[in-house]
Amino acid sequence: MSDSDKWSINDMLVWDSHSGFESRPDARLNQLKTWRDAGVSYLSVNVGYDVRPWQNTVNTLASFRTQLAKMSDDYVLVKSVTDIDRARAEGKLAISFDIEGMESLNGNTDMVSLYYDLGVRQMLFAYNLNNRAGGGCHDKNVGLTDFGRDVIKHMNHVGMLVDCSHSAYSTTMDAMEISTDPVIFSHSNARALVDHERNIVDAQIKACAATGGVVGINGIGLFLGGTIDPAIFADHIVYVSDLVGPEYVGLGLDYADEEEAEDIADVFEANANFWPQTQYKDSIGGFMSPDKLPRVSELLTSRGFSATEIAGIMGKNFRRVAEQVWR
Ligand SMILES: [Zn+2]
């Protein structure tokens, strides 16, 4: 590994399993330069969430696919891990899409394979509030509905990653029990360190690892404990690693730049029910940017992680799961 402040894109596969900027058709994808410049190899870009109607997801997919096609010197929409390896060799940032909340399916399980064909490679159940598929983390704790169970079957069939972030405890435990493929938390931190409902308890982390899945550590200050210090981010990695092993930890930065953060604040205000005051009375605490990852890597070295373990956490662990699940 390089000891310079910035990695070269060739040093290590870096897998960021979730972007935090707004999923809407007029979002400008030139902001992906932040990830590319930081040496990230693959980013899952969010194209929709339950806060907006399902048509927004379709329109955002249309826009993002068109924008990416026009920027093919720098970015490539991938279908497989082989595509990611090829993109990395060509110095391009590999992209696929994710959906936060199954209201994007509009109650129709056939939408799973349609979204898969359009580039969606992971989807979570409910964005903070309960929906037709199951429970959200800021709502009454409920398990999967029959619809939610049916969706998992379709996801397992097409090879879409089942993601448990943002969802209620019982929904996540049900999902991890019935999915025939490994299940991930794309962007969730340890609740034992920070008692926020968006974070996950030890039983969820253990169940995730038992499926062969990975927990992606989130870089939002509020979920880290109020600050975006890379040392605190490393604390969450160390915690999950001590609990289940370093091969079940990854990155899900949820990053949005300052301009985007202002837009997000407006959306928060207009849809306050999705972010209850009891959980969001404090500031969101900023977003840790991907250019801090070399510092995180140094911190992990100083805390006793081997180069192989760090390479796993930075990207190879999620790559392993995707290789197993995507078809
Ligand atoms: Zn999220």
CATH number, position 77: 3.20.20.140
pLDDT (0 to 100) of residue 3: 46
Is residue 7 assigned to a domain? Answer: no
pLDDT (0 to 100) of residue 264: 84
CA distance 174 to 184: 13
Is residue 255 assigned to a domain? Answer: yes
pLDDT (0 to 100) of residue 4: 47
Residue 296 alpha carbon to ligand 1 centre in Å: 21
Residue 81 alpha carbon to ligand 1 centre in Å: 23
Residues contacting 322, CB < 8 A, separation 6+: 81, 84, 121, 161
pLDDT in tens, 222-274: 999 989 999 999 999 999 999 999 999 999 999 998 888 888 888 888 999 99
**Contacts by 138-143 with C-beta closer than 8 Å and gap 24+?**
138/197, 138/198, 138/274, 138/275, 138/276, 138/279, 139/168, 140/168, 141/168, 141/169, 141/170, 142/168, 142/170, 142/171, 143/168, 143/170, 143/171, 143/173, 143/174
CA distance 166 to 135: 9
Domain around 93: 15-325
CA distance 187 to 313: 13
Residue 187 alpha carbon to ligand 1 centre in Å: 7
Residue 164 alpha carbon to ligand 1 centre in Å: 10
Residue 272 alpha carbon to ligand 1 centre in Å: 15
Is residue 10 assigned to a domain? Answer: no
- What is the number of domains present in the chain? 1
CA distance 202 to 311: 24
pTM, 2 dp: 0.96
pLDDT (0 to 100) of residue 263: 82
Is residue 1 assigned to a domain? Answer: no
- Mean pLDDT per block of 10 residues along the chain (327 residues) reads 52 95 93 96 98 97 98 98 96 97 98 98 98 98 98 98 98 98 98 98 98 98 95 98 98 92 86 93 90 95 96 98 97
Is residue 230 assigned to a domain? Answer: yes
Residue 1 alpha carbon to ligand 1 centre in Å: 30
Q: Which of 128, 96, 156 is nearest to 276 (CA)?
A: 128
Is residue 26 assigned to a domain? Answer: yes
Is residue 97 assigned to a domain? Answer: yes
pLDDT (0 to 100) of residue 8: 56
Residue 227 alpha carbon to ligand 1 centre in Å: 18
Q: What is the 3-state secondary structure (H, E, C) of the chain?
A: CCCCCCCCCCCCCCEECCECCCCCCCCCHHHHHHHHHCCCCEEEEEEEECCCCHHHHHHHHHHHHHHHHHCCCCEEECCCHHHHHHHHHCCCEEEEEEEECHHHHCCCCCHHHHHHHCCEEEEECCCCCCCCCCCECCCCCCCCCHHHHHHHHHHHHHCCEEECCCECHHHHHHHHHHCCCCEEECCCCECCCCCCCCCECHHHHHHHHHHCCCEEECCEHHHHCCCCCHHHHHHHHHHHHHHHCHHHEEECCCECCHHHHHHHHHHHHHCHHHCCHHHHCCCCCCECCHHHHHHHHHHHHHCCCCHHHHHHHHHHHHHHHHHHHCC
pLDDT (0 to 100) of residue 6: 57
Crossing angle (nearest 10°) for helices 202-211 and 169-178: 20
Residue 166 alpha carbon to ligand 1 centre in Å: 6
Residue 228 alpha carbon to ligand 1 centre in Å: 17
Residue 88 alpha carbon to ligand 1 centre in Å: 26
Residue 217 alpha carbon to ligand 1 centre in Å: 12
Is residue 157 assigned to a domain? Answer: yes
CA distance 115 to 118: 5
